[in-house]
Amino acid sequence: MTSSPIQDTTRRAARYVLVLSILAIATGYASAFKTGGAPGWAPWMLAIGMPAALGSIMVLGAARGSKGIGALKLPFLFVFVVLASGFCLALGLPAEAKGATLLFGLPLRAAIVIYGIGLLPIVVLPVAYAITFDTQTLSESDIARVRELAATRRAANPGSER
């Protein structure tokens, strides 16, 4: 496989972040086995680790050739910030006082979770995927290259598809 330095940098960084975030999540779980249950910082490890893990695996998947992730940097950053800040606000904000104003029909922290984490990424990610699809994900020429290489392989190994 031919790899460019840019691709290597992007994918390598994504892999390191993925490993570190999985370690953070593992640390959060491991701490729960201590006598007396999970310490207060344990959920924070997941609150940061999960968005980082999901974001990094998306970067790993989206990176291609010498282009890295191109214009997708911003949507990925946006989603990491939305998820991480949503979890952290849910953890850090005080419980709502009785009679507090509702936000779109829900208490503030619930609204942050349902609308922020549950709906906001939908407005950005699938649209970013569609907009950048032709340049970042797949083109007719990519498919032609794959078909050509597959045909060559079949010709070299008749009777075996895999």
Partner 1 sequence: MFALLQTSLPHVAQPVVIGVGIAYFTVIVAISVWAARRTRTASDFFVAGHGIGLIALTVASVSTSVSGFAFIGGPGLIYTVGLGAMYIVLPASVTNVMGAWVLAKRMRLLGEARGLMTVPDAIGARYRSPAAQGLAGIAMLVGIIGYMATNALAMGVVINAIFGVGIGWGIWLGMGVTLAYSVAGGILAGIYNDVFQGTLMAVASVLVFLFVLKVGGGLGNISNTILASDPTFLGPWGKMTPLAALSFFFVFGMGSLGQPQGVHKYYMLRDPMQLKWYPLLKTLGLILVLLLYFGVGVGVKAFVTNGMMAPLSAPDQATPSLLLSITPLFLAALVFSGVAAATMSAANSFINIGAAVVMHDLPIAFGKRLKNELFWGRAVTVLIAVAAAIIAQKSGTMVAFLGIFGWGLFASTLVPALAVGLNWEGATKAGAIASIATGLIVTLALETASFRKVFTFPSGVTASAVALVLSFLMFFLFSWLTRRDAKNQIDPDVALIMEL
Q: Can you tell me the distance from the alpha carbon of 94 to that of 27, in angstroms, rounded to the nearest whole number? A: 25
Query: Is residue 17 a contact residue for partner 1 (CB under 8 A)?
Result: no
Residue span 31-60 as binding mask against partner 1, x where in contact by CB under 8 A, dash where not: -xx---xx---xx--xx--x--xx--xx-x
Altogether, the residues listed in the chain come to a count of 162
Give the one residue of 6, 78, 85, 121 binding partner 1; rule: CB under 8 A. 121
Give the one residue of 9, 13, 52, 62 binding partner 1; rule: CB under 8 A. 62
Query: Is residue 83 a contact residue for partner 1 (CB under 8 A)?
Result: yes
Nearer to partner 1, 26 or 74 (CB): 26
Query: Is residue 145 a contact residue for partner 1 (CB under 8 A)?
Result: yes
Query: Is residue 88 a contact residue for partner 1 (CB under 8 A)?
Result: no
Q: Shortest distance, CB of residue 77 to partner 1, whole angstroms?
A: 14
Q: Shortest distance, CB of residue 81 to partner 1, whole angstroms?
A: 13
Give the one residue of 10, 17, 68, 109 binding partner 1; rule: CB under 8 A. 109
